Amino acid sequence: MSKLSHYDAGGSPRMVDVSAKAETKRTARAHAFVKISPAVLEKLPENPKGNPLEIARIAGIGAAKRTWELIPLCHPLLLCHADVEVAVEAGGVRIVATATTTAQTGVEMEALTAATVAALTVYDMTKALDKSIEIQDVYLLEKTGGKSGDFRRGQ
């Protein structure tokens, strides 16, 4: 296993110096699932707060852009693209977030943050109907670019 780069020689946390790294195109996709009862799923279109899925999508995009403000050692990145797909399916809402940059470091955290905040927003928009809603399965689906190469879950 390689050493974690967010710690200095003395074991103290630090922001990684990426100044010597080349700017390359980097992408990431992340997943989250919001487990919701069929009764609550049925009521999504009539939510008095608005369309929970569209609001979650916009919240996720906004979160991707602000990841560096939320995660202490993340670099501020200029995103070339961020998107969140939100789909109702049996048992809940599936969320897939995508982030792209041309930078010196990857966008995995931006995609994961987008997926997570979108899931939290679905919860916020529906919690009045059911407090037992669960956010599940937050994980990286894939990432491309950078020195460490490509990653695809399951390969």
- pLDDT tens-digit series, residues 32-68: 999 999 999 998 888 887 899 999 999 999 999 999 9
CA atoms within 13 A on the CB side of 3: 9
- Domain topology for 28-144: Alpha-Beta Plaits (3.30.70)
Instruction: Give the residue extent of every domain in the chain.
Output: 28-144
Cα–Cα nearest to 75, from 120, 152, 139, 19: 19
Which of these is catalytic: 8, 17, 124, 130? 124
Q: What is the pLDDT of residue 145?
A: 93
Q: Which amino acid is at 97?
A: A
**Mean pLDDT (10-residue bins), the chain, 155 residues:** 65 78 93 96 85 96 97 94 96 98 94 98 93 97 92 92
124 noted as active-site residue: yes
CA atoms within 13 A on the CB side of 112: 15
CA angle 120, 112, 50 (to 5 degrees): 30
Q: Which two tokens stand for residue 116?
A: 């997570």
Q: What are phi and psi of 34, to 5 degrees?
A: -110, 110
**39-60 as b/e, with b when 16 or more CB fall inside 10 Å?**
ebbeebeebeeeebbebbbebb
Cα–Cα nearest to 78, from 23, 119, 4, 150: 23
Q: Which two tokens stand for residue 36?
A: 């919701």
Cα–Cα distance measured from residue 98 to residue 104, given in angstroms and rounded to the nearest whole number:
18
| Helical spans, DSSP H, in 75-131 | 108-126
Q: What is the pLDDT of residue 3?
A: 62
Q: What is the pLDDT of residue 1?
A: 46
